Structure 1
Amino acid sequence: MTTLPKSIRPGDTIGVIAPASPPNKEKTKIAINYFEQLGFNVVTGNHIYTKSAYLAGDDNKRLEDLHMMFANENIDAVYCACGGYGTARIADFIDYELIRRNPKVFWGYSDITFLHTAIFQKTGLITFHGPMLGSDLGEGSIDPLTENYLKQVIEPTDIHYTEQISPLQVHVEGKASGPVVGGNLSLLVSTLGTPFEIDTKGKLLFIEEIEEEPYRIDRMLNQLRMAGKFQDAAGVLLGDFNNCVPGKRKESFTLEQIFEQLIVPAGKPTMSGFSIGHCVPHISIPIGSQAVLSTYNKTLDIKAGCKK
């Protein structure tokens, strides 16, 4: 059973945490100012700027901030400041019952994919795959289309994705429906064999990636293929693959060839070209929300991910 978080409105309080790598402090402050100008109160976790090698503080501190934000009744939404690496290290220590009892908007992407997957599968809470404060939203200016989709948690709105947003390519014809799940490819693969293994049965599997060479994309997609994730899925959505170009291995398949070799044989409706991921504009989507993919008119319709 899925749970829709309550939408937020000016006057509400957004809690900011860093459950993975440490965010850029200056960019985070710029993004906080953006939300404050929208009328929100913003509080940061106690350890958001703590550093422990490539982590934003040790595992206990990052976990403490996440728990604190969900437990605090005065916090209306939880936004992640940065991706990088680290969420998988705390996933099996999270109090999912605490999250279930205190459903609220949870926002982030990239390494946050592991938390989106874990939270949805353990609690049924719909979460949001979207740009983060300490990187994307701290650049000083926000793309208008990116900003438009940021506001879906303020005014709950169904998403109607067409080629007016970005060109879409059909790989397998068809129409499919189900909850949207997925996120960053590297993180999806890292769930395999764990208690948080991505469940794609009857779902629309979304995948995006950044700065991985095609042979690595090949390796990870092949692992998902062998794990039955494409065969189980109702359909496949391929987002942005930012700077996923040959480097070490100059002779390479194209990404399109890899998709054709590893995803298409499953025969599930598949389209690529969605501007979702490490890109501009960055279209935010609710993870776990019901959606319909149609290759015939090249559309993706997703139900609003929160309630008024």
Structure 2
Amino acid sequence: MSSSARRHFITHSASLAAACVVGTPAFAQSRVERLPLTKAPRLKPGDTIGLANPSSAIYERQPYELATETLTALGFKVREGANLRARHGHFAGTDAQRAADLNAMFADPTIHGILALTGGSGANRILPLLDYAALRRTPKVLAGFSDITALINAVHARTGLVTFHAPVGASEWNEFSVRHFRGVLMEAQAMTLRNPRDLGDLPAPKEDRITTLRPGIARGPLVGGNLAVLSSLAGSAYLPSFDGAILFFEEVNEFIYRVDRMLSTLKLSGALDRLAGVVLGAFTNCNPGESFGSLTLDEVFDDYFRPLNVPVYRGAMIGHIRRKFTVPVGLEAEIDAGAGTIRLLSPAVA
């Protein structure tokens, strides 16, 4: 090795070591441009909702019937995507079929909003097949959760459209979920998303508890969804900007060591270090599994989020749970980690 090469190696190694010592990623993910915000027209009774299935197939008839009956009861007309009931392996049709339904629904002026029928897996496969320029020209409500995290974040990142982490067609549409869906998407309310405080006959609440990891108030655009799906977008052009953002996320049926790995992916990409605040939703059936020892979820969250020195709270009604908020992806919001609230700073629809 020449003397100049040796000096370069030593200098580069020292830089890497310094980065590791202070906890800053040595190779941070490049910054993502944040596009001007676009809002879809609000949904109204009598509007037509397009049912699409960007992810996994459904093998029984009843979920289709229940989704249609539910949306009809909410005052909408319902139109199934041409490939809604297709199947390719465990997917709801080929990548081309699933993408074609979404592109067609955005292009159809008689369809006013698009709701995913279910989640599962596969939405990330269709992201390169969507016509983002056309989607931006015809903004519409796009909603779903779980695997639909890939779709709602990618569409927001590539178009600036506010999208929605909301119940899917096959969800349980209880009073709480319907009230938030209507408030955000139909009544254009700048809602404050707050867990109910129902003590029942208990001296202290047991369900839907809020835990404050670090108190404080923060403002920023909301980004997030399912942690596994979100972390799978790291390094791609489909992950929204985390600069000054409020990150919300949830998970289901994952061992704690896998939750840790997903958060590590976001940390190593540099995304977590640019946040204004964090909201942790439900972590349903996330446990240590049968491994020899494990950190607790509390310890994992402490490790990743306390050092950020931003407001963080846990327990928001977001995730694979019966009662769900409707959370606008891309909209400016204010969180109060002590109170456990997300306050939308403007209506999410026009």
CA offset digits 1:169-199 (Å, max 9, x no partner): 1112221101100111011111112222342
SS at match of 1:92: helix
The number of aligned residues is: 302
Q: Distance in 1 between matches of 2:180 and 2:341?
A: 17
Q: Distance in 2 between matches of 1:192 and 1:271?
A: 23
Residue matched to 2:94: 58
TM-score normalized with structure 1 length: 0.94
Q: Distance in 2 between matches of 1:154 and 1:34?
A: 16
Residue matched to 1:154: 186
SS at match of 2:260: helix
1:144 aligns with 2:175: yes
Q: Distance in 2 between matches of 1:82 and 1:296?
A: 33
Q: CA deviation at 1:156?
A: 1.1
Equivalence map 1:252-291=2 (5 Å) = 252-291=294-333
Out of 176, 179, 186, the residue aligned to residue 218 of structure 2 is: 176
CA offset digits 1:63-97 (Å, max 9, x no partner): 11011100000000011001111111110121001
Q: Would the aligned equivalents of 2:195 and 2:317 in 1 still touch at CA under 8 Å?
A: no
**Structure 1 unaligned blocks of 5 or more:** none
Equivalence map 1:89-168=2 (5 Å) = 89-134=125-170, 136-137=171-172, 142-151=173-182, 152-164=184-196, 166-168=208-210
SS at match of 1:70: helix
Q: Distance in 2 between matches of 1:42 and 1:118?
A: 25
Amino acid at match of 1:202: G
SS at match of 2:302: helix
Q: CA deviation at 1:250?
A: 5.5
Distance change (3 Å), C-alpha of 1:143 and 1:38: closer
Q: Distance in 1 between matches of 2:147 and 2:178?
A: 21
Amino acid at match of 2:55: A
TM-score normalized with structure 2 length: 0.83
Amino acid at match of 2:125: R
Residue matched to 2:18: none
Q: Distance in 2 between matches of 1:93 and 1:162?
A: 37
Residue matched to 2:250: 208
The sequence identity of aligned pairs, in percent, is: 34
1:30 aligns with 2:58: no
SS at match of 1:305: coil
More deviation, 189-198/91-100: 189-198
CA offset digits 1:281-308 (Å, max 9, x no partner): 111111111100122433220233112x
1:295 aligns with 2:327: no
Q: Distance in 2 between matches of 1:30 and 1:22?
A: 16
Q: Would the aligned equivalents of 1:214 and 1:245 in 2 still touch at CA under 8 Å?
A: yes
Out of 258, 261, 269, the residue aligned to residue 219 of structure 1 is: 261
Q: CA deviation at 1:59?
A: 0.7
Q: Distance in 2 between matches of 1:125 and 1:85?
A: 23
Q: Distance in 1 between matches of 2:297 and 2:176?
A: 26
Q: Distance in 1 between matches of 2:194 and 2:84?
A: 37
Residue matched to 1:14: 49
Residue matched to 2:3: none
Q: Distance in 1 between matches of 2:301 and 2:51?
A: 36
**Structure 2 unaligned blocks of 5 or more:** 1-35, 198-207
Amino acid at match of 1:88: N
Amino acid at match of 2:57: P
Q: Distance in 1 between matches of 2:54 and 2:253?
A: 22
Q: Distance in 2 between matches of 1:150 and 1:306?
A: 12
Residue matched to 1:306: 349
CA offset digits 1:233-262 (Å, max 9, x no partner): 111110111111122325221111100012
Q: Would the aligned equivalents of 1:25 and 1:49 in 2 still touch at CA under 8 Å?
A: no
Larger Rg: 2
SS at match of 1:263: helix
Q: Would the aligned equivalents of 1:286 and 1:304 in 2 still touch at CA under 8 Å?
A: no
Q: Would the aligned equivalents of 2:156 and 2:240 in 1 still touch at CA under 8 Å?
A: no
- For the aligned residues, what is the CA RMSD? 1.4
